[in-house]
Amino acid sequence: MPAPAHASLLNSLLEARALAEIGSYYGLRRLLGRLAPRGDGHPVMVLPGFMASDTLTRALRDFLDELGYEVHAWELGRNPGLRIELCEKLEARLAVIRRNANRRVSLVGWSLGGMYARAIAHRQREHVRQVITLGTPFGIGTSDGANGAIARMYVALNPQAATDPLMASGLAREPTPVPSTSIFSVRDGIVPWTSCVERCDARRENIRVSGSHCGMTYNPLILAIVAERLAQREHAWRPFRPSGLSALLSRPVCDPAAA
């Protein structure tokens, strides 16, 4: 039987697991910093989820900063939804970052932040090195998942969504023109996990993990995977190959139907 195209009530109730993930982040942060591969110093921009701000990505950004990356935040307050004017502001900053560093920028987006990352990768591919999304429902709107509670809430808070050029373009749903990694959890209690996976190829992949949606920017396993993905040499991207503990706790998945 195919998985439901909505977050289950049980998973939604279990989102309190995020508190445990936050606790595990602070308990394992020092060890995680020692075990994760060092960064090469290239710029990384981290984008928050729907109605979240930079506050909820602070732990992830601090971790990446400690690894040696040039880390940049969203800096636009709360993320209210896909808006063309916000996308253009991000793109302007992206161009400045690229020019100053003389290196392409990796985009890490949590939830709706990943929708911005994917759209920007299409619009400004010359500035983007790779895209990593955490629980991003880029497939929503192409299945019955679009009728879920989160989608209805989004429309209620974004009455202009149907006519906004960024949303109407559908770019976030299209396969990215740069290497991309979608990290998702089938226990996600906020978005339907089926909308977070796509058929992979030589430059696009899905990685299944265990955890909540709200705790993704604190989950030590996810942070370790993000660090490994970012540490790849530019122009030498390869699919994720789990090893050690990550081999037990995560699984690359190519076919969404097999996720």
Q: How far apart are CA 154 and CA 228, in angstroms?
A: 33
Segment holding 113, helix H or strand E? helix 112-123
| Nearest Cα residue to 57 out of 214, 246, 232 | 214
Q: How far apart are CA 150 and CA 195, in angstroms?
A: 12
Beta bridge partners of 133: 109, 182
How many C-beta neighbours within 10 Å does residue 242 have?
17
Q: How far apart are CA 128 and CA 178, in angstroms?
A: 7
| Nearest Cα residue to 162 out of 50, 51, 83 | 83
Supply the pLDDT for residue 4.
45
User: Residue range 83-97: average pLDDT?
Assistant: 97
Q: How far apart are CA 175 and CA 16, in angstroms?
A: 32
Supply the pLDDT for residue 238.
95
Residue 218 pLDDT more than 70?
yes
How many C-beta neighbours within 10 Å does residue 127 have?
21
Question: Six-digit token pair at 126?
Answer: 């010359």
Segment holding 95, helix H or strand E? helix 84-101
pLDDT digits (tens, 9 = 90+) for 144-201: 444 556 667 777 777 777 778 888 888 999 999 999 999 999 989 888 899 999 989 9
Average pLDDT across the chain, whole number: 88
HEC states along 179-198?
CEEEEEECCCCCCCHHHHCC
User: Residue range 100-120: average pLDDT?
Assistant: 97
Q: Percentage of residues in the chain with pLDDT exceeding 70?
A: 88
User: Residue range 205-219: average pLDDT?
Assistant: 95
User: Residue range 118-140: average pLDDT?
Assistant: 96
Supply the pLDDT for residue 148.
56
Q: Are 107 and 89 in contact (CB under 8 A)?
A: no
Q: How far apart are CA 84 and CA 81, in angstroms?
A: 10
User: Residue range 13-18: average pLDDT?
Assistant: 76
Residue 87 pLDDT more than 90?
yes
Residue whose entry in the numeric block shows the structure tokens 């808070």 = 157
Q: Are 141 and 173 in contact (CB under 8 A)?
A: yes
**Helix boundaries (H) for 124-242:** 149-157, 165-169, 220-230
Contacts of 134 (CB under 8 A, 6+ apart): 108, 109, 110, 111, 114, 183, 216, 217, 222, 226
Question: Six-digit token pair at 157?
Answer: 């808070």
Q: Please tell me which residue, 244 or 143, carries the higher pLDDT value.
A: 244
User: Residue range 77-82: average pLDDT?
Assistant: 93
Q: How far apart are CA 155 and CA 95, in angstroms?
A: 31
Residue 225 pLDDT more than 80?
yes
User: Residue range 96-125: average pLDDT?
Assistant: 97
pLDDT digits (tens, 9 = 90+) for 140-151: 764 444 455 666
Phi-psi region of 31 (alpha: psi -120 to 50; beta: other; left: phi over 0): alpha
